[in-house]
Amino acid sequence: LKIIDEISKVSNEEGVRGAIKFQFRQIDTFIHPNFKDRTDLPHIPRFVSTRISNEDYEIFTKRVEENKLTTMATPFDEESVELIKRLGIEIIKIASCSASDWPLIEKVAEAHKPVVVSTAGLSMNSIDDLVSFLELKHVEFALMHCVALYPTPTVKLQLNQIEIFKKRYPHITVGFSTHEPPDYLDGIKIAYAKGARVFERHVGIENNEIKLNPYSSTPQQIRRWLRAYKEAVCACGAERRPPVGHKEEESLRSLKRGVYAKEEIKKGTPLRRSVVFFAMPLQENQLESGYWKDCFTADKDYKRNEPISEDVIERFTSTQEIINRIVLQIKGMLNEARIPIGNDYKIELSHHYGLERFREFGAIIIDCINRAYCKKLILMLPRQKHPYHYHKRKEETFQVLFGEMEVEIEGNRHVLRAGDSIVIHQNEWHKFQTANGVIFEEISTTHFDDDSFYEDKFIARIPREERKTKIENMFYNRYRSTGNYHE
């Protein structure tokens, strides 16, 4: 009880979501009767001498709940799973030594509780097998990287395995079950930076008679460990690219170059590279060298060495600039989703109400194949919609590769996530939209340009070529005036 109280105090004071985990073994059946008295075998003497009754575990469980921590237990036999259910323990842990014990794993899956699984000693095929089984049984679970060396030396931590798990199972929470010496704090920092989000350590309290093993932590060591974790969270920062902070912006601006007149320039004169130069400091309201394009016009008379005003920049966004920004966002989405498209493709922007409203209504369509069968990749930006329409000749299947979307067919809504698919038959009204962006495959019969019929008659009256912008390649060039984009 003292261990529970002191570890709970540390967890609560450090403001983390903590759990106290027990290990359950029903000694009467867990150890073969012929071996219970053997002292020459590993673990058995310790298990027998430290036996705790189920009644005591009930007291421990209530104490954890009173301390407002999550209850968790590792069962090493099927009877212990029943004890977990009886005590109302919230989370089940499968230890590495049990991660291939299929009778026990099946029993755990039947408990319908969240599960955390350690993976020390398992091959990747065995982990794939375990993941497939738990997904089949609809178990909510996390995978823990773990090394079964007690204590684990630094050279054996294998923390790159966390990234391997994250890439192989991107939809599964990954954690780190750690056995390194308790004063080694870099492990949890690196593990968090690699993507681990659940962490586990053995804990205990020493006294005159009891000394902890070299991989267990005292409450004071746990406090330092949790603070190292919080330091890593702080250092790693946001999981999305945030806007630049004001201090950082000022720091960068102080090192940037501005555009200056190399000679006297009259108002209305085209600004060419030959009549300007770039130098620091960048002054207030001055044109940055990074914004320079060889197409500006002088907005006033300039003397030699005078800073060129940022007012020379046109205040409207050109069609090409709109397309440039869309191209960059398309490439970013494909890179994030790790979807290569090769070199043999056709891309068009579909903008039902004009390019200026593309981010509200439209889609990016990448034509891959169009024969007796057809394959397209369709990308939609966050908050984009595609209006109600149907096809007379084409039947199509949507399968989501990345992100999430809502498809409405004949008034019935369907939410699709990565891996989900849905069939749309000929003459079925359908529309779709996404909140945060989506990439999906459209597999269909042959596509015909004149086979889309829209509910909104305004769209129907616009010629198809005015609703489409073709992009001949994805190589962005900020200086291109016409290039390979055309409408």
pLDDT per residue as tens digits for the range 264-297: 999 999 999 999 999 999 999 999 999 998 889 9
Q: How many CB atoms lie within 10 A of CB 225?
A: 22
Residue type for 257, please? R
pLDDT for residue 486: 38
User: What three-state secondary structure class fits 72?
Assistant: strand
User: What three-state secondary structure class fits 440?
Assistant: strand
Compute the distance between CA of residue 297 and CA of residue 311 in angstroms, rounded to an integer.
10
Task: Answer yes or no: is pLDDT of 342 > 70.
Answer: yes
pLDDT for residue 256: 97
Task: Answer yes or no: is pLDDT of 474 > 70.
Answer: no
pLDDT for residue 472: 73
Q: Which helix (H) or strand (E) holds 403?
A: strand 396-409
Higher pLDDT, 480 or 314: 314
pLDDT for residue 475: 56
Residues 261 and 275 sit within 8 Å (Cβ to Cβ): yes
| Domain 319-486 fold | Jelly Rolls (2.60.120)
pLDDT per residue as tens digits for the range 366-408: 999 999 999 999 999 999 999 999 999 999 999 999 999 999 9
Nearest to 68 by CA among 141, 10, 23: 10
pLDDT for residue 343: 79
Task: Answer yes or no: is pLDDT of 257 > 70.
Answer: yes
Task: Answer yes or no: is pLDDT of 230 > 70.
Answer: yes
Among the ranges given (23-32, 100-109, 415-424, 442-451), the one the predictor scored with the smallest mean pLDDT: 23-32
Q: What are phi and psi of 402, to 5 degrees?
A: -155, 130
pLDDT for residue 480: 40
Q: How many CB atoms lie within 10 A of CB 14?
A: 15
Q: Give every CB contact of residue 39 below 8 A, 6+ residues apart in sequence.
A: 45
Task: Answer yes or no: is pLDDT of 479 > 50.
Answer: no
User: How much is the mean pLDDT over the chain?
Assistant: 93
Q: How confident is the model at residue 160 (pLDDT cuts 50, 70, 90)?
A: very high
Domain 249-312 annotated CATH 3.30.420.40: no
Nearest to 441 by CA among 392, 405, 390: 405
Residue written as token pair 């395995």? 161
Compute the distance between CA of residue 49 and CA of residue 280 in angstroms, rounded to an integer.
76
Gyration radius of the chain's alpha carbons: 31
> Any idea where the domains of the chain sit in the sequence?
2-236, 249-312, 319-486
Q: How confident is the model at residue 209 (pLDDT cuts 50, 70, 90)?
A: confident
Residue by residue, DSSP assigns 28-69 as HHHS-GGGTT-SSSSSHHHHHHT---HHHHHHHHHHHHHTT-
Token representation of residue 441: 């495959």
Phi/psi class of residue 338: alpha, beta or left (left: φ > 0; alpha: ψ in -120 to 50)? left
Domain 2-236 CATH class label:
alpha beta
Task: Answer yes or no: is pLDDT of 485 > 60.
Answer: no
Q: Give every CB contact of residue 173 below 8 A, 6+ residues apart in sequence.
A: 142, 143, 197, 198
Token representation of residue 459: 């769209």
Compute the distance between CA of residue 368 and CA of residue 374 in angstroms, rounded to an integer.
8
pLDDT for residue 79: 96
Compute the distance between CA of residue 431 and CA of residue 390 in angstroms, rounded to an integer.
9
Q: How confident is the model at residue 482 (pLDDT cuts 50, 70, 90)?
A: very low
Token representation of residue 163: 């990234």
pLDDT for residue 254: 95
Q: What are phi and psi of 460, to 5 degrees?
A: -60, -30
Residues 72 and 19 sit within 8 Å (Cβ to Cβ): yes
Q: How confident is the model at residue 460 (pLDDT cuts 50, 70, 90)?
A: confident
Question: How far does CA 45 lie from the centroid of its chain?
Answer: 45
pLDDT for residue 42: 87
Question: How far does CA 449 lie from the centroid of its chain?
Answer: 37
For the entire predicted model, the pTM comes to: 0.80
Q: Which helix (H) or strand (E) holds 234?
A: helix 219-236
Q: What are phi and psi of 302, to 5 degrees?
A: -120, 135
Residues 266 and 301 sit within 8 Å (Cβ to Cβ): yes
pLDDT for residue 65: 97
pLDDT for residue 194: 98
pLDDT per residue as tens digits for the range 297-322: 999 999 999 999 999 987 666 788 88
